[in-house]
Amino acid sequence: MKRSRIPYGALNRFFYQTVGAAWRWTDRLPWTDGDWQAYAERPGLETWIGYVQATPAGYFELARQDAAQVEVAMFGLLPPFVGCGVGGALLTAAIRRAWEEGTQRVWLHTDSSDHPHALPNYQARGMRVYKTETS
């Protein structure tokens, strides 16, 4: 696992589009190159990439909200690595990193279009359901 130290919006867009295609991630698809770059340069945003045999396998973005809160803003695997047992290790790393530096609350959003194992994976790592909405 390595942190992307140079903010590069095209990298975040690549992961968002490629990981999110199977899970109906559409909110950011209209973003321009400038929007992506501004997002990547946002203070408090960290982009991390997980690797399998030196090949990018997935990523996560952590967004520090303030001194005490971190959102797991994005998390997912590239298609060839879904169902290969990589997700649990990547999520564990994401949550551990999120708790560093005096964090008091780590949170994320998920929904019914996510991978069927997403919620159980989050819960197995100590996350709990805070709120459920239906539309």
Percent pLDDT > 70 in the chain is: 99
Per-residue pLDDT tens for 44-103? 999 999 999 999 999 999 999 988 999 999 999 999 999 999 999 999 999 999 999 889
pTM (two decimals): 0.91
State residue 78's pLDDT score. Answer: 97
User: Closest Cα partner for 91 from 123, 56, 64?
Assistant: 123
Give the three-class secondary structure for 13: helix
Whole-angstrom Cα distance, residue 5 to residue 62? Answer: 13
Query: For helices 33-40 and 9-20, what crossing angle results, to 10°?
Result: 100
37 HSE (CA, 13 A, CB side):
3
At the topology level of CATH, where does 2-124 sit?
Answer: Aminopeptidase (3.40.630)
User: Closest Cα partner for 34 from 13, 9, 14, 15?
Assistant: 9
Domain range summary for the chain, segments of one domain joined by +? 2-124
